[in-house]
Amino acid sequence: MKRTIGDFLLDRLSQIGIKDILGVPGDYNLQFLIQTERRNDIKFVGTRNELNGAYAADGYARLNGISALLTTYGVGDLSAINGIAGAYAEYVPIVCITGAPPLNSMYRRRSLHHTTAEGNFEDIMSCYRPFTVAQARITPQNAVEEIDRVLRACVRKKRPVYLQIPSDITFFEIDVYNEKLSLRQQTSDLQQLNAVVESIEEKLAKAENPSALLGMALDRFGLRDLSQSMIENLQIPFATLSAAQCVLDGDHPQWIGGYSGRSSSDKVKAAIEQSDCLFGLNVKFTDSNSSYFTQHVPENMINIRPFRTIIGHEVYEGVSAIELLDRLSKITPPKKYKNWQSNPPKVKDAWKPVTGEKLIQNRFWQRVESFIKPHDVVVTEAGTSMRGVKILDMPSGITIISQPLWLSIGYSLPALFGSLMAKPNRRQVIFIGDGSFQLTAQEVSSFFEHDLKPIIFLINNRGYTIERAIMGFHSKYNDIPNWNYRQLFDAFSDGKEFFSRQVNTEEEFENALNDADKVADKQLCLIEVMFDPLDIPKAVQSSANMVAAFNYGPRGLKELDKNIDD
């Protein structure tokens, strides 16, 4: 059958579950946008700039499973690439589509706008190659094969891909298959799978202290439920790295806490570091999730990756984690492991505001814990917000959206827009600092444009508090100008109603939460929380000290002390 190139791509995007294409129009992608506007199954959603679009696509994919971003060649691509690199690092599948210059102009190496005017049309592709798992420039000759190849790579590898669509070919008709895109995953080599299961069963039979450690992107690889089934079948305790917070419910009786090297509790350290049969579920240790490489896990950890399993120095290629976890969920455990105890239910005193008391970070997070409801989406920004959410006891069904590895400040606000577009009916709450907010603030207007109703906690501590904690408590480079955030939201709202409070005291905060809860299903809520710039929780300062020691070393810290003394 015949189909235009643009419509064939849109067909495929719709088939893999994409209903919205985020991004920014540009003169090289307008024909493709015209084709998009003619459809009922997929629509274009504009963002305020391409970087915000990339962040929004990231947030969309984390709830929807996959997303699409549209930019124009050169200027749009390079504006978006930071967000795409973050998605690559954190295994977030985004289909990056760029409207490229006309195919004939590229063949003739013409000097065009949005290029360096040197006839080089490979430079932008080269920029994207390290941060995508497949790339293609579409032509009438390769469109069907290349579009399908690139989209399969995105779905299977859970990382961004990059498609250049020349502006002059989107309406070209091509012969296409009258069938949906095949996304069947490769199954395991049976001999390898059996060998892994046999090895694991032998280890379990000898073990007295088995446990599990959950790592990155288990939900995106479809491993969340199977991981839980395996853990429950074996009746072993599990801990989580930062990227896996709330992947399984935090109130699960077998969850013992978060693991982060020397910063872990004694109970968690013992369960993980002294385990004689440790299951690592897509575990990769980084500076930020291991308290700067202070993890001490057994060398023979069973690290189950999506497409291979590593046991000590033995690598089993060709083993699907889906099939392996399914098998481990059904084996008969060789014994009952009773050397661990569930966390006892925490009995906490009801939070009561102290009259006239200035609100501080520690008290803020104590109250926030009871404000979060089951099945909320909680979006957190790098810095004190992420650290604060990390210590909360969460109810069931929570989804956390954050960037614990890439840590690009400003990410969370556009990511919230994307996640709201993907799941507008879920209650979504964001915690973002003023410094991060100022990087991507324009996307607030998108909430009003699409009648979205997030609850926004804007932490106003007059600058980069996490950087103050690392180095420069009183340094001017950590200061930012204060904005009138209420008036800014007014400007972006175009007259639409929203809830807004600025709070300084515990009583004001309590009243703001209660009042916001009454209207949160009807309108956007902004709660601006005023903190002292040096209100730094103890855990944040401890982490910042590790960052400073690692980044600058003993000599750098001595030079800092010398300058302070002078």
User: In this predicted model, what pLDDT tens digit does every residue of 226-258 receive, in sequence order?
Assistant: 999 999 999 999 999 999 999 999 889 999 999
Question: What percentage of the chain exceeds 70 in pLDDT?
Answer: 97
Which residue spans of the chain are classified as CATH 3.40.50.970?
2-175, 361-551
Q: In what order do the strands lie in the sheet with 377-380?
A: 399-401, 377-380, 428-433, 455-460, 525-530, 499-503
Q: Which residue numbers in the chain have pLDDT < 70? A: 338-340, 344-345, 558-566
Q: What pLDDT does residue 348 have?
A: 75
434 is in an annotated binding site: yes
What is the C-alpha to C-alpha distance for residues 284 and 290, in angstroms, rounded to an integer?
10
**CATH hierarchy code of domain 2-175:** 3.40.50.970
CA distance 538 to 519: 34
The sign of the dihedral angle between the CA atoms of 211, 215, 217, 221 is negative
Annotated binding residue 463: yes
β pairing state of 277-281 and 210-214: parallel
Given a contact cutoff of 8 angstroms between Cβ atoms, the answer to whether 428 and 454 are in contact is yes
Q: Which fold has domain 361-551?
A: Rossmann fold (3.40.50)
Q: What per-residue confidence (pLDDT) applies to 10?
A: 98
**CA-closest candidate to residue 378, choices 437, 454, 429, 433:** 429
pLDDT at position 560 is: 62
Q: Which helix (H) or strand (E) holds 432?
A: strand 428-433
**pLDDT attached to residue 111:** 86
Helix, coil or strand: residue 39 = coil
Report d(CA 14, CA 305) in Å as an integer.
29
**Spatial CA neighbour of 19 closest among 411, 319, 424, 343:** 424
Tell me if 421 sits within 8 A of 56, measured CB to CB: yes
pLDDT, residue 340, reads 66
Q: Is 461 among the annotated ligand-binding positions?
A: yes
Residues 342 and 267: beta-carbon distance below 8 Å = no
In degrees and rounded to multiples of 5, residue 166 shows phi and psi of: -55, 140
Residues contacting 305, CB < 8 A, separation 6+ = 282, 321
| Residue range(s) occupied by CATH 3.40.50.1220 in the chain | 190-328
Give the Cα separation of 309 and 192 in Å (integer). 10
Radius of gyration of the chain from its Cα atoms, rounded to whole angstroms: 25
| CATH code of the domain occupying 190-328 | 3.40.50.1220
In degrees to the nearest 10, what's the CA dihedral of 375, 379, 385, 387? 60
pLDDT for 561 = 60
User: According to DSSP H, which parts of 135-189 are helical?
Assistant: 143-157
